[in-house]
Amino acid sequence: MTNPLPTQARLHALIDAHRTLPGATLPMLHAIQDSFGYVPDEALPMIASALNLSRAEIQGVVSFYPHFRRSPPGRHTVQICRAESCLAMGAEALEAHVKAQLGVDFHQTTADGTVTLEPVYCLGNCACSPAIRVDDDIFGRVSARRFDAIVEELQHPAGEGASA
Amino acid sequence: MSVRIYVPIDSSALSLGAEQVARAIRHEAQVRGIAIELVRNGSRGLFWLEPLVEVDTTQGRIAYGPVQAEDVPGLFDAGFHQGEQGLALCQGQTEQIPFLARQERLTFARVGVTDPLSLDDYLAHGGFVGLKRAVALTPAAVVQEVTDSGLRGRGGAAFPTGIKWKTVLDTPAAQKYIACNADEGDSGTFSDRMLMEGDPYCLIEGMTIAGLAVGATQGYLYLRSEYPHAHRTLQAAIERARAAGWLGTNVADSGRAFDIDLRLGAGAYICGEETSMLESIEGKRGVVRAKPPLPAVSGLFGQPTVVNNVISLASLPIILARGAAFYRDYGLGRSRGTLPFQLAGNLRRPGLVEKAFGVTLRELLEDYGGGSASGRALRTAQVGGPLGAYLPAAQFDVALDYEQYAAMGAMVGHGGIVAFDDSVDMAKMVRHAMAFCAEESCGKCTPCRIGSVRGVEVIDRIIAGEERDRNLALLGSLCDTMLAGSLCAMGGMTPYPVQSALKHFPEDFGIDTSAGA
């Protein structure tokens, strides 16, 4: 994920690519977060200036949406579903297990920097509850044991070394 | 001749290991020198059997499931690739599985059957027939057809689609829009996701029909960011549809233009509310707008806009292809056509059941769902998402119909059904409903923003047994205020789960029911 360009230049390119879209704020923020993993402080005045809006307006948009992060996450983001269908299938117990196992609460990152834990309300995997999301992968019927195996793979990837 | 094998690429199937199964099948076939054609289809919606692998044979498609990667060598040993049926995992002919055989799949006719991104497959299965007919009709005739079909908004509000369209058609403007609401945030719902992943061209065709009908040349598809797989599928489908001339400046050789811009939400539940979604597409905070003006008159960027849910739009191709009467013949009363019900939560056979309106909750929970997954008695089901009522078993026999549900203080909504067994603590669920409202409120109106926070506090006092009667009265009054005074359904319907749970399950709140109070 290393990118040789300085932050400002990267931001400029991402903002420029979406400048002419109607309602460009969210597409810009998504592009920036997809590239950086979060929305850096420097991005806000640059977006504001590109869209001829105030910095406060951009700040207001970023803070409204839970998806946008203002600080770098861990190497992986794990979301635990807290919605009704998952609650009907033991999500509360799973959430307690996950927090104890990782030693973090929601919105925190494990000490080794591997996992940032976030809550989510519904992943649309309600027929396979309880569900979690790890980065862009969804997992269903997640037991405590299955969760431990998933985290073990994140912390010690089987292919590590060979592919790196 | 190669054997055609289907392994779903649907999120839920992937969440249970479908990718590993597909890889194992490819590997095993190669090692054994067996020629196969691996098709990645959508899901049939039989989720207790996912990953569900199908093999194409002379007797139709034969189903095997649930398959894990480690089962694959054994399946080949036993000859599953020749459709061998004497295997433990074999479910027989897919179409004959009772859960599927008894459904009425109109909107979901292709989902799980075809390769979602193959335009040839889409055309071979009746795709674009509806659009071609719409092209040949006048816009007013298309709107009339949709009105006559009886289709009502499938996102939950159940507003007649044709009436909404007529307003947009009759409002003069240089630019009009179609905004597809794919912010499917309600727990227990996944039909939008399944359709977008399993038959994306159906949604594209539906949006295009809507565009031609009201004179809109630009569509926005607002998808929630929680659906990464649907995002990839839609992106690819829109590009392919455009390249093939189904979108763009000359749609289906009609000389008329329509195109779609795919936009991603960012984790805010409230953006499933139509005006909040429009704000979000415009690049703003997803704060609800006061109505009027209706979006049909002044919607996206201040222009006349059709805002429709995914399933409403995806029902249009078959309505146009088969005619209004064909669709209207399904259902009862003022609830016409079919609804893809989504069986979720604590059920032995969770999945998607598309049926005509009029089916009962008991049929869905017991005949289709097979009772609870835990083996305990089913106690309640929440119908219509987190803002829907909790129904007791005594109400399981009421026909699922918009009016009959409204009459008992419940709602059909988007057709999501979450089942709970008798271990559920309803006081906890009620607290959850209020806390969810507090978390997700856009903050514009006081009853929702402050009411939900006070609601959690009052419920906590009731659970703790502090001045229970006084606090119950206070909660009742608070619910009345939220119901009548909120700007949108977020605050206005949070009282549904709260009041239904209090009414039907008072014992969970420490309320003494012995006196008959």
Residue A134, C-beta contacts closer than 8 angstroms, at least 6 positions apart? A76, A77, A78, A79, A150, A154
Residue A22 and residue B386: Cβ atoms within 8 Å? no
* Torsion over CA: B281, B284, B288, B292 (sign): negative
Q: Rounding to the nearest 10 degrees, give the CA dihedral for residues B273, B275, B279, B280.
A: 20
- Checking if the pLDDT of A1 tops 60, the result is no
Window 357-386 of B, Cβ < 8 Å to A: 373, 382, 386
C-alpha distance from B228 to closest chain A C-alpha (Å):
6
Contact A22 B301 (CB under 8 A): yes
The pLDDT tens digits for B170-213 are: 999 999 999 999 999 999 999 999 999 999 999 999 999 999 99
Inter-chain residue contact A84 with B50, CB threshold 8 Å? no
Measured between CB atoms, which of B45, B226, B284 is closest to A123? B226
Shortest CA gap A110–chain B (Å):
23
Residues in chain A, total: 164
CB contact under 8 A, A126 and B185: no
Residue contact B12–A29, C-beta within 8 A: no
Strands B259-264 and B218-223: parallel
| Cβ atoms within 10 Å of A155's Cβ, excluding its own | 14
In chain A, which residue's Cα lies nearest the Cα of B425? A88
Distances (CA, A) of B416 to A119, B242, B387, B388, B507: 21, 33, 11, 9, 26
Closest to B204 (Cα-Cα) out of B153, B166, B255, B258? B258
Average pLDDT over residues B267-289: 98
Asked if pLDDT for residue B517 goes beyond 50, the answer is no
Chain-chain contact of A85 with B188 (C-beta, under 8 angstroms) = yes
pLDDT > 90? residue B271: yes
Contact list in B for residue A89 (CB cut-off 8 A) is: 345-346, 373
Averaged pLDDT for residues B86-107: 97
Enumerate the residues of chain A whose CB falls inside 8 A of the CB of residue B227: 124
Closest residue in A to B228 (Cα) is: A136
CB contact under 8 A, A136 and B228: yes
- Chain A residues with CB under 8 Å of B416 CB are 126
Q: DSSP of A73-126, one letter per residue?
A: --SEEEEEE-SHHHHTTTHHHHHHHHHHHHT--TTEE-TTSSEEEEEES--S-G
Chain A residues inside the 8 Å CB shell of B186: 122
The residue-averaged pLDDT of B344-366 equals 98
Band the pLDDT of A158: cuts 50, 70, 90. confident
Nearest Cβ partner for B263 among A26, A68, A133:
A26
User: Residue B513 has what pLDDT?
Assistant: 78
Contact B268/A at CB under 8 A: yes
At B475, list the tokens.
């909660």
A9-18: per-residue pLDDT in tens? 999 999 999 9
Residues above pLDDT 70, as percent of chain B: 99
Determine the CATH number of domain B426-509. 1.20.1440.230
Domain boundaries, given as residue ranges, for chain B: 3-101, 119-327, 330-421, 426-509
Q: What is the chain A residue with the closest CA to B266?
A: A67
- pLDDT band, residue A163 (cuts 50/70/90): very low
Q: Tens digits of per-residue pLDDT, B441-480?
A: 999 999 999 999 999 999 999 999 999 999 999 999 999 9
For residue A146, give the chain B residue with the closest CA: B16
- With an 8 Å Cβ cutoff, is A122 touching chain B? yes
For B394-435, the pLDDT digits (tens) are: 999 999 999 999 999 999 999 999 999 999 999 999 999 999
Q: Which CATH architecture has domain B330-421?
A: Roll (3.10)
* Placement of tokens 């606090």 in the chain: B471
Confidence class for position A157, pLDDT limits 50, 70, 90? confident
β-pairing, B416-421 vs B338-345, is parallel
CA distance B253 to chain A (A): 27
Top-confidence residue, A4 or B342: B342
CATH class of B3-101: alpha beta
Q: Do A129 and B345 touch (CB under 8 A)?
A: yes
Average pLDDT over residues A75-88: 97
What's the CATH number of domain A76-155, 3.40.50.1980, 3.30.70.1400, 3.40.30.10, 3.40.50.2000? 3.40.30.10
Average pLDDT of the residues in B155-178 = 97
State which amino acid sits at residue B373.
Answer: A
Mean pLDDT on A74-91: 97
Q: If contacts are CB pairs under 8 Å, which of residues 3-62 in chain A contact chain B?
A: 21-27, 29-30, 51, 57, 60-61
Q: What is the pLDDT of residue A159?
A: 61
**Chains A–B, number of C-beta pairs less than 8 Å apart:** 155
Question: Residue A159 class from Cβ within 10 Å (0-12 exposed, 13-18 middle, 19+ buried)?
Answer: exposed
Contacts of B286 (CB under 8 A, 6+ apart): A64, A65, B268, B270, B271, B276, B277, B279, B280, B442
Nearest to B298 by CA among B171, B183, B160: B171
Residue B138 predicted with pLDDT over 60: yes
Confidence tier at A25 by pLDDT (50, 70, 90): very high
Q: Which residues of A touch B273 (CB under 8 A)?
A: none
**pLDDT score of B262:** 98
**Using CA atoms, how far apart are residues B127 and B405, in angstroms rounded to an integer?**
34
Best mutation target among B16, B47, B187, B300 (most A Cβ atoms within 10 Å) is B187
| From B187, B192, B227, residue closest to A126, measured CB to CB | B187
Q: Chain A contacts of B301, Cβ < 8 Å?
A: 22-23
Q: What pLDDT sits at residue A5?
A: 77
Chain A interface disruption, residue of B9, B10, B12, most A CBs within 10 A: B12
How would you write B9-22 as a 3-class SS string?
CCHHHHCCCHHHHH
Query: Which residue out of A122, A134, A142 would a mutagenesis test of the B interface target, given it has the greatest number of B Cβ atoms within 10 Å?
Result: A122
| Cβ-nearest to A127 among B12, B420, B440 | B12
CATH says B119-327 is which class? alpha beta
CB-based contact (8 Å) between B490 and chain A?
no
**Contact yes or no for A30 and B420 at CB 8 A:** no
Render pLDDT for B475-492 as a digit per residue (tens, 0 to 9).
999 999 999 999 999 999
pLDDT at A58: 98
Say whether pLDDT at A152 is over 70: yes
B168 CB-side CA count, 13 A = 31
